[in-house]
Amino acid sequence: MSELEAMAATDGETPVGPAALRLENVVRTYDEAAGKLEILKGTNLTIWPGEIVALVAPSGTGKSTLLHLAGLLERPDAGEVYIGGVAAGGLSDDARTRMRRVDIGFVYQFHHLLPEFTALENVMMPQLIRGLDKATAAVRAEQLLAYMRMKERASHRPSELSGGEQQRVAIARAVANVPRLLLADEPTGNLDPKTSHYVFEALRGLVRASGLAALVATHNMELAGRMDRRITLQDGQVVEM
Ligand code: ADP
Ligand code: MG
């Protein structure tokens, strides 16, 4: 077992615990001049630890909205979001922020790495914000970058990295605090097919090794085909494909 797997805090038993993510009758509407825009109409979704789920749906159907709700960046108009079995709706903003930092990792289409910091420092950052000491954060960041085959590039700044390398650093950063749930919004949307394939394989390897759950919005059917499950949005509902 690798150190990474050891850090995933499993004891070798099949985990019998709460879902990593559960949406229960989630409603999300936007008020537009032309009237109410109903994006999610009371939808349900459960993702278990260890699962990688593809969210495949046309632009404008609500993929990002669903990810923002799951990531506690927005609140639903009705319904409940559970992270690791804990209902987020009743929590204070502070408690939600803590949950977002500790339990959830995000990867976006554009990497959002801090330009003035190295790859290593970017992966250390969420750990330092969480309160870990520098030495511990550096060790973990090195391990994650090595896992993403980015060890040799650890001292480079984002501008000195290719798009695929930047996304691999962004993925390492997203899992730096060992979240329960990784949310990725078209993480390979800016990359060519070959690089997409490589970056996704690295992401999948990391999810498999650490036992976290991942929800990945993508337009790439080849990637979707390599995930455990595929869901789409139809008429404001999450539907299995
Ligand atoms: P996707 O990620 O699938 O492309 P989004 O979740 O970004 O879709 O958006 C779904 C729909 O909701 C779109 O029609 C979009 O214009 C609308 N929308 C998203 N965010 C807002 C907002 N903050 N205010 C109003 N409308 C929004
Ligand atoms: Mg989107």
Distance of CA 59 from the midpoint of ligand 1 (Å): 9
Is any ligand 1 atom within 6 A of the Cβ of residue 96? no
Beta pairing partners, 47: 21
Which atom of ligand 1 is least distant from the CA of 62? 6
Whole-number mean pLDDT of the chain?
92
pLDDT bracket for residue 16 (50, 70, 90): low
Distance of CA 208 from the midpoint of ligand 2 (Å): 25
Is any ligand 1 atom within 6 A of the Cβ of residue 14? no
Asked which of 84-88, 108-112, 163-167, 217-221 is least confident by mean pLDDT, the reply is 108-112
- pLDDT of 1 over the 50 cut: no
- pLDDT of 23 over the 50 cut: yes
Report pLDDT digits (tens) over 50-67: 999 999 999 999 999 999
* Average confidence (pLDDT) over 180-184: 97
Report pLDDT digits (tens) over 28-50: 999 988 899 999 999 999 999 99
What is the pLDDT, as a whole number, of residue 12? 47
- pLDDT of 5 over the 50 cut: yes
Question: b vs e for 84-108, b when ≥16 Cβ sit within 10 Å of the residue's Cβ?
Answer: beeebeeeeeeebeebbebbbbbbb
pLDDT bracket for residue 209 (50, 70, 90): confident
C-alpha 67/C-alpha 54 separation (Å) is 12
* Closest Cα to atom 19 of ligand 1: 65
* Closest Cα to atom 23 of ligand 1: 30
What is the pLDDT, as a whole number, of residue 26? 98
Is any ligand 1 atom within 6 A of the Cβ of residue 59? yes
* Closest Cα to atom 7 of ligand 1: 64
